[in-house]
């Protein structure tokens, strides 16, 4: 059914549940792309500690190692994309630019006040991606 699923991950429990749902939805022909976004806010201290951008990305990749290992063990056709910027914008842009059929993303379940003040990556993606979005709690 879906040929290209974009799985947005951040290392949270909801992110892992999203990985499980992505595998359950995918067929053997489906490409699952795992995307994680390094926030550009505060990146200076992270980058200084890591030394290089490659080290920063490698260090960051450990945050979602559980999701990546689950996909690797349960679905042969996958790849990992790490990008930098505002998570909602980068996930939506990637989905729109790469003809993704479905974005699967965990949501934190913010209460209305927190969502109004802090915003929500999953809400942003739902509103701005040009494909279906599955929100996983």
- Short-list 84, 64, 79, CA closest to 14: 64
- Spatial distance between the Cα atoms of 82 and 136, rounded to a whole number of angstroms: 21
pTM higher than the cut 0.85: yes
The model's pLDDT over 94-127, given as tens digits with 9 standing for 90+, comes to 999 999 999 999 987 544 544 444 458 998 999 9
pLDDT, tens digit, 9 for 90 and up, residues 58-108:
888 899 999 999 999 999 999 999 999 999 999 999 999 999 999 999 987
Q: Are 35 and 94 in contact (CB under 8 A)?
A: yes
Domains of the chain in sequence order: 4-136 (3.40.50.620)
């Amino acid at each position: 059914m879906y040929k290209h699923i974009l799985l947005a991950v951040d290392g949270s429990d909801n992110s892992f549940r999203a990985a499980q749902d992505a595998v359950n939805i995918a067929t053997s022909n489906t490409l699952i792309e795992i995307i994680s976004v390094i926030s550009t806010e505060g990146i200076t201290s992270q980058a200084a500690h890591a030394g290089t951008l490659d080290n920063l990305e490698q260090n960051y990749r450990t945050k979602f190692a559980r999701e990546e290992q689950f996909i690797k063990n349960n679905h042969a056709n996958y790849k990992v994309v790490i990008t930098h910027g505002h998570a909602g914008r980068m996930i939506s842009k990637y989905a729109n630019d790469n003809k993704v059929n479905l974005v699967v993303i965990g949501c934190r379940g913010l209460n209305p006040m927190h969502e109004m003040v802090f915003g929500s990556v999953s809400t942003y993606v739902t509103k701005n991606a040009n494909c279906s979005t599955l929100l996983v709690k």
